[in-house]
């Protein structure tokens, strides 16, 4: 069953929400293409779609991956720095050898006037990675 790319992208972003201890997950039904959302661990009432009883059956449902599973964390930042901030590459690599790297990276981007370039780079890489992930899992994408 085909799934709209925008729906997969939105579900991926949902599943990768930084919820301060809350867990956000999204699943794609391989048979119908329907996407299910699940949130657990919020102080308020947990949000979830009505999940099928067999949501954990990997032959029917596949969870949307984490950004790191698709190489969209540190490796992507280093690729960006290598291409667009070569003079700062060693600093960026050092940032990401310790905790709290993203705020330092974002500050560097602001100083270099590269925030928009980073967002465009990250967005394109994310779209390519999601497309490849869908192809790997035989999820047919429509526009």
Question: Which tens digit of pLDDT belongs to each residue from 41-79?
Answer: 765 555 567 889 999 999 999 999 999 899 999 999 999
Ordered DSSP codes for 62-85: EEPPPGGGGT-SHHHHHHHHHHH-
Query: In angstroms, rounded to a whole number, what is the distance separating the alpha carbons of residues 50 and 52?
Result: 7
As a whole number, the mean pLDDT across the chain is 91
- With a cut of 80, say whether residue 98 has pLDDT above it: yes
Residues 2-15: pLDDT tens digits?
A: 899 999 999 999 99
Half-sphere exposure in the Cβ direction for 49 (13 Å, CA): 15
Q: Provide, rounded to the nearest whole percent, the portion of the chain with pLDDT above 70.
A: 94
The residue to which tokens 């709209």 are assigned: 4
- Report the pLDDT value the prediction gives residue 118, as an integer from 0 to 100: 98
């Amino acid at each position: 069953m085909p799934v709209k790319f925008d729906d997969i992208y939105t579900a991926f972003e949902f599943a990768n929400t930084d919820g301060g201890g809350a867990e956000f997950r999204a699943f794609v039904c391989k048979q119908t293409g329907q996407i299910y959302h699940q949130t657990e661990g919020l102080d308020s009432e947990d949000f979830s779609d009505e999940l099928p009883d067999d949501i954990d059956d990997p032959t029917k449902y596949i969870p949307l991956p984490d950004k790191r599973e698709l190489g969209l964390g540190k490796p992507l930042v280093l690729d960006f720095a290598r291409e667009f901030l070569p003079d700062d590459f060693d600093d960026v690599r050092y940032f990401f050898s310790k905790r709290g790297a993203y705020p330092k990276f974002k500050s560097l981007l602001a100083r270099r006037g590269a925030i928009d370039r980073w967002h465009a780079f990250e967005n394109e890489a994310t779209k390519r990675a999601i497309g490849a992930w869908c192809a790997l899992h035989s999820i047919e994408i429509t526009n």
